[in-house]
Amino acid sequence: MAEPPLSCDCFVSLPPGSRDDHVIFGKNSDRPRDEVQEVVFYPAAAHPTGSSVECTYIQIPQAEHTHAVVLSRPAWLWGAEMGANDQGVCVGNEAVWTREPVSDGEALLGMDLVRLGLERGASAWAALEVITGLLEDHGQGGPCREAQEPFSYHNTFLLVDRTEAWVLETAGRLWVAQKVTAGVKNISNQLTIGTEISAEHPELRSVARSQGWWDGEGEFNFSQVFSPENPPARMELAKQRYRGGTALMQQHDGSVTAEVMMSILRDKPSGICMDSGGFCTTGSMVSVLPRDPGLPCIHFFTATPDPSRSIFKPFVFSERIGPMQRVASPQYGPDDPARRQPRFQSQVDRRHDLYKAHQGALSNMDASQNEGLAVYEILRDLESQCLVDILAMLSGELPGEELGDLFFDCVDAEIKFYQ
């Protein structure tokens, strides 16, 4: 039997695709079933000139200033599957395979590049420049899951801010990008950029010609030239999911809201919400980026698997943000099996408080216990009311002074309901 698709889905709606004057970003992170995804916050920081930063596998020069970021990430690594910064930028990545060989050698993971782009980029385009510059300097590669069996890939990215979005597709150090300024767009683990190229690596076409992948005649089509002749089964299987995501976005074109985006991420028939097999949706994120710079951006995270049975909780950047222990996993320092050489020789418990409580609730629901289902229905009602209140705040009907504590209040309430 062919393997199920092993990547994720990213979505964006820009006016007039959105119902309101907002940019809406959404992503499901489909990862190994038992992998814990945590939500973490890092404040803006100044760094000494010449200092370095330790990423998942390699050390690179640190920027002198990094933006505040909130990240949803596999708990064993440094980077992130998706996240946002205090400048109103969101980034998510997908696995992809191309004609360029994938390196098992340790370099920057695509997830490292997500975090680095957010920490260093004040706009979607600036984050794209950060990522492509780091690709040129350090490359991409290394094990992409916490296991001894090798599993590596190249990456595509969706980078979004209050005014525009960029799709960035990579093949080793090579890359191509497409600018999106209106309507709806989605990506999965497919190359989607054909001839609609807005920017590219200066050596992209010369490499394609030297490898015999392109004869230099006619219009250059990136996805045709760089898609592998014999793609992995997981990449072929994801085509249906990509088409399903496109259909759902087009169905809601002109009416996309945060609630609509959540419903898309919860859609099981399309495969966007994965809940069976060795891989599943381990974390989800939706962001509302108002075009009006005077309004705050709102970011929703589940921090738990399967969005069809998880609750989205709103996060707003604030100077009052404290430690996020309830959604942060235990730290093992230099004894972490992901850091010790050789890596991944053992497993540790990375579950955070919310993850454990959610696991118990899912067990009740799976056993068809009325109590578990009733608790989930109450939480979904609270999620809906929260969405109503936030939209009222963005329209000026409610004050927004207390938004900085809202994520923590929602997490605590969810844990108490589960208990």
* DSSP string of 3-46, one letter each residue: PPP---EEEEEETTSBSSSEEEEEEEEEEETT--EEEEEE--EE
260-270 in b/e burial notation, b at 16+ Cβ within 10 A?
bbbebbbbeeb
Task: Please tell me whether residue 313 adopts helix, strand or coil conformation.
Answer: strand
Residue 26 CA to residue 42 CA, distance in Å, equals: 21
Q: What residues form DSSP beta bridges with 37? A: 74
**Phi, psi of 116, rounded to the nearest 5 degrees:** -65, -40
Burial of 44 (0-12, 13-18, 19+ CB in 10 A): middle
Residue with tokens 């698709």: 5
Residue 75 near residue 84, CB atoms below 8 Å:
no
Q: Which residues contact 300 (CB under 8 A, 6 or more apart)?
A: 258, 262, 285, 286, 287, 312, 313, 314, 315
Residue 310 CA to residue 192 CA, distance in Å, equals: 30
Structure tokens at 138: 């350090």
DSSP 8-state code for residue 222? H
Q: Catalytic residue, from 8, 273, 386, 410: name it.
A: 8
Task: Please tell me whether residue 54 adopts helix, strand or coil conformation.
Answer: strand
Q: Is 410 a catalytic residue?
A: no
The DSSP element (H or E) to which 184 belongs, if any, is strand 183-187
The one-letter code for the residue type at 351 is R
Residue 68 CA to residue 119 CA, distance in Å, equals: 7
As annotated, the active-site residues are 8
